[in-house]
Every structure is written in structure tokens, then in C-alpha cells.
Amino acid sequence: MIRIEPRTAPGRWMTLGVPVLSAVIALALAAIPLALAGADITVAYGEMVKGVFGSVFAFSEMLTRATPLMFTGLAAALAFRAKLWNIGAEGQLYLGAMAAVAIGAGAVDIPGIFLVPLIVILGAAAGAAGMAVPALLKTRFGADEVVTTLLLNFIILIFVQMMLEGALKDPMSLGWPQSAPVLDQGMLPQLMPRMRVHSGLILALVLAGIAQFMLARSVWGFRLRAVGENAAAARHAGIGVNRSLFGVAILSGGLAGLAGVSEVAGLKGYLTADLSPGFGYTGIVVAMLAGLSPVGVVISALFIASVFVGADSMSRAIGVSSYLADLVVSMSLLCVLIGGFVARYRITRTKTAEGVA
């Protein structure tokens, strides 16, 4: 008889190797549709690598794409650590972006040294507010946060579209639904001249380092991990489970809001309804591929961004659809889920009583 048993303690190499192997397998599987499309596999992957590392500009574009993924990946990783399934990072991103343009487009006229931090803080607060409602519904009434956060994404997006046709609409946009631009002094500083990569990347890296330290070395991190491992046991030990869940929910929403701030105040300069191509949802893949590790989120975001930027370059070079990137990302998630199962469980074979007889 075949049985599935939990492993006593998955090895460190298995824990670290599963995400890496998942990414490699996903890239290998992606070669199948490439071959079916008539593309030369080596040329196609060569163009992908060239599209990311072929020039300083290409590398900077990869870093630019990775920045919002780091924020949304951190938002998902911290929430998932506490078994709080925040699927609403996409909506929280838009709330952060909307707060950034509401403040940065001229509502206050102050020097950039004060305006930039104000935009960052209020953008994070807006994202946190977007997660506060589902967190309150879960802790007070036991509502399923998967449903509430997911549905809230659509509500927020409709609200953003309404604001872009009303209070936030740029009178100089010739009827196009977009916000007024953020003032120059409210934009995040650029890291490289004539490149789009901005200081939001530095903020994401710093927050990832802080999150890693807090999870591993602080009482808050211990409580968060305890709630995620066994909420009933944590409650019996005197840990305020609902308070911990609400706190990490606010933090998760704030990080997702910063993704919106980075896109508006760091890159685009204004808000449109198509600001995000799905950064909030892709952040879930980033977090899972990273094994919910904040430092791993940085590496995972760089990998996912490399796939997207490289696929765009490959598409232009050999005429293959750039949707291959979505295929690689989805297969990476599937592989990491299967790999995570293999890392936590093992399949054993036992003899039945009849077999022994």
C-alpha cells in the first residue's frame, strides 16, 4: 500500500534547491512550445539572455520591472507566513498609486525632500487601508480573506476608473482617462542617468532586508511564524492571534501600496487604469517561488522580471509571442508547488496484512 507521510525535517539543500530546480524545469518545459512554433531553441534563449544582460539599458529595464514585483512579493510573503491569504495586492497597488497622484500632483506644494517621503508614507497608508477591511472581516467575523481581497480588487479598480474620469482627471489629457502628473519634485530620484530605474529599487531592497531580520530575529517574527504554523497553539501560548493577523495585514497592504507608488512616482509620473499588468497577482508567484523568504523574494523578482524582459526581446528578435513569459511564470509556480509537496512529504510503500501472510 502506498502512503504519503510528512518528512520529519526537510534538508536545507532541498528547501533551497526546490525553487531553483522549479525555475530550471519551467524554462526547459517552455522549450516545447518554442519548438512547436518553429523557433531555434538556442537562438531563442540566447535572445532572452541578451535582452536582459546584453547592455546596461537592458539590465536597467529588468531592474525597473523587478521593483514592483519585490514590493508585491514581500506583501504576499509576509501575509502568507501567517496563513493570511492576501490576494488583493493588485487593488492595494492601485490605492497606493492613487494616493501618490492625489498628493503629488499639486495638492501640496512643498520641497521634494518633504514631498517624496510624504508620497511614500501616504501611498503605503492607502494600500494598508485597502487590506484593513478584509483583515477586520476575518478577525471579527471569520470571513474568508481569499474571497474578500479578490473581490475588493475589482471594486478598487472600478473606483480608480471613476476617479480618473472625475476628481483626478488631468484637464490637459484631451479626454484620455489619466490623472494629472506628479510634480517633478515629487518623483523618486533616478539611479542611473537616462535610464528608468529609480530609487524605489533601493527602498524595496532595504525593506526586504528589514523583513528578513524581523522574521528571523525579532519577537514579532516569532509570533508571526507561530501563528502561521499553528494558530490554536499560538493562542494557547498567549499570543494574540487576531492582533498578529491584523498587524501583518496592514503591513502587507502597505507594501503592495508602495508598488503603486514606485510605478507612479518612480516611473510613469501619472496614473492610468492599465498601470499594472498584473504585478499584484505575479507577486504571489514571486513569493511562492521564494519560499516566502523576504531575501528570496528579491532573487525571485529578478528572475521573473528577467523572464518578462527577456521574452519581450526574444519576441522582437525572432517573432515568437511574448506570452511565452506568462507560460514560464505559470509553470514556475506549478513546479514550485509540486516541489514544495515533495520537500514536505515522502511517498512510502508498506506491506498489507495479506501481503505479509
How much is the mean pLDDT over the chain? Answer: 88
Axis-axis angle for helices 56-81, 41-53 (nearest 10):
90
Q: How far is CA 265 from the centre of its chain?
A: 18
Tens digit of each residue's pLDDT (9 = 90 or more) over 239-250:
999 999 999 999
The CA-based dihedral angle spanning residues 50, 54, 56, 62, taken in that order and rounded to the nearest 10 degrees = 10
> Looking at 17-26, 144-153, 261-270, which range is the least confident one?
17-26
Confidence of residue 48 (pLDDT cuts 50, 70, 90): confident
User: pTM to 2 decimals?
Assistant: 0.90
The CA-based dihedral angle spanning residues 276, 256, 80, 70, taken in that order and rounded to the nearest 10 degrees = 70
Nearest C-alpha neighbor of 91 from the set 137, 155, 143: 155
Alpha-carbon distances of 290 from 77, 78, 295, 304, 337, rounded to whole Å: 8, 12, 8, 11, 11
How high is the pLDDT of residue 10? 62
User: Within 10 A of 285 (CB to CB), how many other CB atoms are there?
Assistant: 23
How high is the pLDDT of residue 356? 47
Alpha-carbon distances of 313 from 147, 242, 263, rounded to whole Å: 37, 47, 22
DSSP class of residue 11 equals -
C-alpha span between 94 and 264 (Å, rounded): 10
Mean pLDDT score, 226-239: 91
C-alpha span between 178 and 164 (Å, rounded): 6
> Looking at 13-27, 114-128, 169-183, 264-278, which range is the least confident one?
13-27
Alpha-carbon distances of 349 from 1, 14, 17, rounded to whole Å: 6, 22, 25
C-alpha span between 343 and 336 (Å, rounded): 10
C-alpha span between 291 and 63 (Å, rounded): 21
Confidence of residue 154 (pLDDT cuts 50, 70, 90): very high
How high is the pLDDT of residue 357? 45
Are 286 and 304 spatial neighbours (Cβ–Cβ below 8 Å)?
yes
